[in-house]
Amino acid sequence: MSAPIPTLTEDLARLLNPGQVSAGESILEQHSHDESYHRGGRPDVVVFPESTEDVVKVVRYAAEHQIPVIPFGTGTGLEGHVVPVRGGISVDLTRMNRILEVRPDDFLVRVQPGVTKNQLNDALKRYGLFFPVDPGSDATLGGMAATNASGTTTVRYGAMRDNVRALQVVLPDGRVIQTASLAAKSSSGYNLTALFVGSEGTLGVITELWLKVYGIPEKTVAARAQFRDFQACVNAATAIVGAGIPVARIELLSQEFVTAFNKYKGVNFPVVPTLLIEFRGSEQGVQIDVELAQEIARDEGCLSFDFVIDEEARHEMWEMRHNALYAFMHQFPGLGHMSTDVCVPLSKLPDACTFAQRRLQETGVRGAIVGHVGDGNFHVSIAIDTNDPADVQRVHAFNEEVVHYALQLGGTCTGEHGVGLGKMKYQELEHGPALAVMRAIKAAIDPQHIMNPGKLIDEIPH
Amino acid sequence: MSAPIPTLTEDLARLLNPGQVSAGESILEQHSHDESYHRGGRPDVVVFPESTEDVVKVVRYAAEHQIPVIPFGTGTGLEGHVVPVRGGISVDLTRMNRILEVRPDDFLVRVQPGVTKNQLNDALKRYGLFFPVDPGSDATLGGMAATNASGTTTVRYGAMRDNVRALQVVLPDGRVIQTASLAAKSSSGYNLTALFVGSEGTLGVITELWLKVYGIPEKTVAARAQFRDFQACVNAATAIVGAGIPVARIELLSQEFVTAFNKYKGVNFPVVPTLLIEFRGSEQGVQIDVELAQEIARDEGCLSFDFVIDEEARHEMWEMRHNALYAFMHQFPGLGHMSTDVCVPLSKLPDACTFAQRRLQETGVRGAIVGHVGDGNFHVSIAIDTNDPADVQRVHAFNEEVVHYALQLGGTCTGEHGVGLGKMKYQELEHGPALAVMRAIKAAIDPQHIMNPGKLIDEIPH
C-alpha cells in the first residue's frame, strides 16, 4: 500500500460531486463495522456512487494510488466484510437503488446493487412475481450476491448463486464486464458469475445484477410444529426434507430462541423446540405435502402441529423468525453478537446440531440454535462480551469446535454468512490445496490487492 | 512447447503399467476426433489411468516436459474438445469407471469420471434414485462435467453445473484438489466447482465427481403434440414453460427431423413439427400439469396430443429423440456433422428459431432444427461436405448468422455442447472484456498451457 493521500477527499469530490463524498465522523463510524462483533478499522472516506460510471471513476483512482476499495451495502453482514482493515474508500452503493428492467416472460429482472430484497419484492408484486432469496435482514441485492446469501427459502429456491443470471462488475482496474449472457444455460467460457457471487468484494464491485424471479404460487400454508426435545425436532426436519416434500421453508428454533421471542415480542409460545414450515404450490399439491409432513412430524413425536393460513399471521411468523437475532441479543444489552454458520450434508445434521447443543450446555457459552435445517445449515447465535478476554476465548473455542466438527462431517464453515474476517482462519483446513487456486485467482484479477483487502482468502502481502 | 520426446511412450509405460499406454495406430486415430466434423491433430500417445494417482503421475510428467494433456471420455463431443491440436498425451479416463459411493440420505453419489450416465442410472435404480442430466449420447460423467452438458431434462433439473456438488481435480502441476465440501450450500471461499465445470479440460483433469441425485417420481407421463406449422409449435413450447408447468422434458422436432426418424426407424409419424413432452410428479400433480399443457397446446392450434404412458413406449420415444443426430446424418452418408447450439432467453426463442428456419430455406444448407426448447436452446443439425469448400463456407456462414442473431437477443453461442474448437471464434463477441478475465484465470492455473491447449479460450502462445 502507498502512503495516505492528503487530498483524497478533495480528489474524489472532484471526480464525483461533493455531495457524493464524505469524511464526516458519523459517516466514517457507520462504515467501519457491520452487525457483528468485528471491529478493527475505519475508512478514510466514504463515497456514494450513483452510476456504474461513478464506480469506475472511484476504482480507477483507487487503482492508480493503490488505495483499498471496500463495497458497502446496508451494513447488515455478520462476519465483518465491510470493516476497512487498512482504511481506504468505503463505496456505499445504497444510492444505486433502481430496478432497471422487469422481464416477466423471461422470469428475469435487472437491478442496481443497492436495491434491497424487500424493495424488489414490493415492485414485483404487480407482476405476480417474487424474488425468493430471503436472509434475515433486508439486505441489498449487491451485498447478498457478494456473500452468496441464502436464508429461509433456500431449501426450495436455492441461494444467491442459483438465482443470479449475470452480473455487471467493475474490475479492480476499472474495466467493466458482464459475467454472462441472459440464456438460462450456457457452456460458453468459464463461469464467471458463480465466481463473483460469494467473492465478498475481493474481485470487483458489483454494479448491476440480472436475477431470476418466480411466479407467486397459487397457495401458501405455514405451520408451527412443536416437539418435546431438540433431537426429535431435528430428526423431524431432516425426515421431512429427506422424504422429498418440496417445502418452501423449514426453520428450526431451539427453546432458548422461543424464550427470547416471547420476551421480545410479549407473546407466549410454548417453550419447546419448534419447526416453522411453509408449503407452496397448487391448492391440491399443498394439501398433499401438508398431510405427509404432518404424518412425519407425528412419527417423530410432535406435540402439536398448528396451521397458520392467514397471510398476515404468516407474515408475522416470518417477521418473528427474521428478528430472531435481535430477539436473542435483546436479552444481553451491551454484548456483541457472533453467529456460527456451519452447513453439513443433511444426514449429518442431527449429529452436528446435537453436538453444538451439548457443547453449549457444557461450556456455558450464551448461545442458542436456530437453523435453515432443510439445507443442513444452522446457526448458534452467541452473545459475546468483547471486554472480557475469558468470554472471548470461550466463545472462540466453542466456534472452533463447531466448525471443526462440521468439517469432519463433510460440511463447510459457512453456509451463508460468508468468510469475511471471522472465518478466514478456517479456510486452510476447509479447502486444503484448493486455497492456493483461490489465491492464484485473486492475484490474477486483483494483483494490487486493493479490493476489500484482508477478507475471505486474501492475506495481505506485507 | 518443447521438442517431442523420443522416449515418451516408454517413459509413461514405466510410470504406469505397459498395458495402460498405447501408441498404436488405431488407438491414436480413435483419440484424434470426436463425433463432429472437427479434425486437425492426433495424440503422440494415449494413456489409460486407473486411479487419481495414475493421473497425477501422467500430469506431473507432462508438466515437467511441457507436453499437452488432453482428457478423453467416450469421444462423443460435438465441438472437437478432444482433438489434440498440438499432439501430446490423450488421457483416456474410461477405465476409471467405478461408482465409489451412494449416499441416499444425502441424495449424493461419488463416481469416477469414466462412469457413463446410463451406467450410473442403472446402478441407482435399486435405491429409487436417478441422475437427471441427459445429453444425447451415453457420455461419461467426467466429460459431461467438463463441457457443462445438459440435455432433455434441464428445463426441470438443471445442467451439470447445477448437479455437481464437488469435484476432485488434478491440477496442471499435479496437485490434487477437492473443489468444495459436501454441504448443500456454502459461502466459504471462491466457487471452484462452477469454474471447473465447463472448463473443458483446460484447467485440470477431473478425477472424481460428487453428484446430486433425485428420487424417482411416483408418476411419469409423456405426450406427443403435433402442429401444423413450425411457429405454432415453438409458440406452444414457450407458452407451456412460461405458464410455469414443471415439465420434465419438452423437446421440439422440426418436420425434417420427423422425416429422418421415419426413414431411420421405419416408422410412420405424421411429418409435421412435433413436441415431445414429459411430465413427472405425484399422480394428481401430473394430471393437473397434463391438462394445462394440453389446453395451451390446443390454444396454439395443436393438431393432436397423444399420450405415451407405457414405460417401454416412453423409453422408445426418448431413444428415438437421442438418436436424432444419427437419424439425420443417416440421410447423408459420407458427410460430416456440425450442430449449432445457441441458447436465448425464453421470450426470444420463437424469434431465434424462426430466423434459423428461414435462413435454412434461403441458403440451402442441409439442416434441421431440434431443440431443448424449455431452456431456450435449440440445435440446427447440419450435414457438411468437408471436401467441398463452397459447402463449408455456406455452412460456416449460416452458423455465424445464427450465433450473431442469438447474441443480439441476449443469448449464448453454446447452450450445452461447449466451445471446443468450433466456438472459439465467437468468444470475443460474446464475452467482450470478460474474456480477458477468463484468460487471466487460465494463465494463473495453467501457466504452461499444457491442459487441452488451443480450446475454449486458450489461444496458444507462439
B108 closest CA partner among B215, B210, B217: B210
pLDDT at A462: 47
B63 closest CA partner among B457, B462, B446: B446
pLDDT at A5: 87
**Position B462 confidence tier, pLDDT thresholds 50, 70, 90:** very low
Contacting residues for A312 by C-beta, under 8 A, at least 6 apart: none
Q: Report chain B residues whose CB lies below 8 A from the CB of A171.
A: 437
Cβ atoms B281, B219 nearer than 8 A: yes
Residue-by-residue DSSP string for A131-181: -----SS--BHHHHHHTT---TTHHHH--HHHHEEEEEEE-TTS-EEE---
Measure B238 CA to nearest chain A CA, in Å: 9
Mean pLDDT of B10-23: 97
Cβ atoms B358, A200 nearer than 8 A: no
Q: Which residue of B has its CA nearest to A428?
A: B189
pLDDT at B3: 63
- Mean pLDDT across chain B, nearest whole number? 95
Fold classification of B99-215 (topology level): 3.30.465
**Position B460 confidence tier, pLDDT thresholds 50, 70, 90:** low
Q: Which residue of B has its CA nearest to A145?
A: B187
**Could you report the per-residue pLDDT of A137-164, keeping only the tens digit for each?**
999 999 999 999 999 999 999 999 999 9
CA distance B190 to B193: 9
Taking the CB of residue A98, how many other CB atoms lie within 10 A of it? 15
**Could you report the per-residue pLDDT of A436-462, keeping only the tens digit for each?**
999 999 999 999 999 999 999 877 654
**Position B316 confidence tier, pLDDT thresholds 50, 70, 90:** confident
Buried b (16+ CB within 10 A) or exposed e, B114-150: bbbbebbbebbeeeebbbbbbbbbebbbbbbbbbbbb
Mean pLDDT of B140-151: 97
CA distance A67 to A5: 9
The full 3-state SS of B109-150, as one line of letters, equals EEECCCCEHHHHHHHHHHHCEECCCCCCCCCEHHHHHHCCCC
- Is the confidence at residue B44, as pLDDT, over 60? yes
CA distance A177 to B244: 32
pLDDT at B458: 76
**Position B4 confidence tier, pLDDT thresholds 50, 70, 90:** confident
**Across the interface, do B185 and A416 touch by the CB < 8 Å criterion?**
yes
CA distance B248 to B156: 5
Three-point CA angle A43, A73, A121, nearest 5° = 175
Positions of chain A with pLDDT under 70:
1-3, 460-462
A117 closest CA partner among A80, A73, A178: A73
**Across the interface, do B191 and A198 touch by the CB < 8 Å criterion?**
yes
Q: Report chain A residues whose CB lies below 8 A from the CB of B188.
A: 412-414, 418-419, 423, 426-427, 430-431
In order of A218, A245, B219, the CA distances from A284 in angstroms are 10, 14, 16
Q: For domain B8-94, which architecture applies?
A: 2-Layer Sandwich (3.30)
- Can you point out the beta strands (E) in A179-286? 205-212, 214-215, 219-227, 249-253, 274-281
Mean pLDDT of B207-231: 94
**Across the interface, do A187 and B414 touch by the CB < 8 Å criterion?**
yes
Q: Report chain B residues whose CB lies below 8 A from the CB of A193.
A: 194
**Across the interface, do A185 and B416 touch by the CB < 8 Å criterion?**
yes
**Across the interface, do B244 and A433 touch by the CB < 8 Å criterion?**
no
ipTM of the predicted structure? 0.96
Measure B188 CA to nearest chain A CA, in Å: 6
| Torsion angles phi and psi, residue A340, rounded to 5 | -80, 165
Q: How many CA atoms lie within 13 A of B83 on its CB side?
A: 22
Q: Which residue of A has its CA nearest to B166?
A: A410
Joined grid coordinates for residue A291: 398431510
CA distance A172 to A149: 23
Q: Hey, of B107, B170, B186, B206, which one would you mutate to test binding to chain A, going by the most A CBs within 10 A of its CB?
A: B186
Q: Hey, of B190, B200, B403, which one would you mutate to test binding to chain A, going by the most A CBs within 10 A of its CB?
A: B190
Q: Hey, of A106, A179, A188, which one would you mutate to test binding to chain B, going by the most B CBs within 10 A of its CB?
A: A188
Q: Which residue of A has its CA nearest to B148?
A: A187
Instruction: Cite the residue boundaries of each domain of chain B with CATH code 3.30.465.10.
Output: 99-215
**Could you report the per-residue pLDDT of B405-430, keeping only the tens digit for each?**
999 999 999 999 999 999 999 999 99
Cβ atoms B350, B415 nearer than 8 A: no
**Across the interface, do A288 and B288 touch by the CB < 8 Å criterion?**
no
Contacting residues for A182 by C-beta, under 8 A, at least 6 apart: A106, A108, A165, A166, A210, B344, B345, B410, B411
Measure B344 CA to nearest chain A CA, in Å: 5
Cβ atoms B451, B202 nearer than 8 A: yes
CA distance A154 to A248: 8
Fold classification of A219-408 (topology level): Vanillyl-alcohol Oxidase; Chain A, domain 3 (3.40.462)
Instruction: Cite the residue boundaries of each domain of chain B with CATH code 3.30.43.10.
Output: 8-94
Joined grid coordinates for residue A383: 452473545
Measure B351 CA to nearest chain A CA, in Å: 14
**Across the interface, do A191 and B195 touch by the CB < 8 Å criterion?**
yes
How many helical (H) and strand (E) elements, i.e. helices and strands, does chain B have? 17, 18
**Across the interface, do A434 and B410 touch by the CB < 8 Å criterion?**
no
Instruction: Cite the residue boundaries of each domain of chain A with CATH code 3.40.462.10.
Output: 219-408
Mean pLDDT of B263-271: 90
DSSP state of A126: G
Q: Report chain A residues whose CB lies below 8 A from the CB of B285.
A: 282, 284-285, 288
pLDDT at A461: 55
**Across the interface, do A194 and B189 touch by the CB < 8 Å criterion?**
no
Q: Hey, of B56, B177, B185, B429, which one would you mutate to test binding to chain A, going by the most A CBs within 10 A of its CB?
A: B185
pLDDT at B78: 93
DSSP helix/strand/coil, B194: helix
pLDDT at B40: 87
Buried b (16+ CB within 10 A) or exposed e, B268-284: ebeebbbbbbbbbbbee
- A-B C-beta contacts closer than 8 Å: 267
DSSP state of A307: E
Residues β-bridged to residue B212: B108
The full 3-state SS of A264-302, as one line of letters, equals HHCCCCCCCCEEEEEEEECHHHHHHHHHHHHHHHHHCCE
Cβ atoms B37, B386 nearer than 8 A: yes
Contacting residues for B257 by C-beta, under 8 A, at least 6 apart: B324, B327, B328, B368, B369, B370, B381
Cβ atoms B210, B304 nearer than 8 A: no
pLDDT at B151: 93
- Can you point out the beta strands (E) in A312-443? 336-339, 367-372, 377-384
Nearest to A417 among B187, B414, B445 (CB): B187
A34 closest CA partner among A417, A359, A301, A371: A417
A49 closest CA partner among A63, A37, A41, A59: A59
Q: Report chain A residues whose CB lies below 8 A from the CB of B423.
A: 188
Contacting residues for A173 by C-beta, under 8 A, at least 6 apart: A59, A60, A63
Q: Report chain A residues whose CB lies below 8 A from the CB of B443.
A: 444
Measure A317 CA to nearest chain B CA, in Å: 25
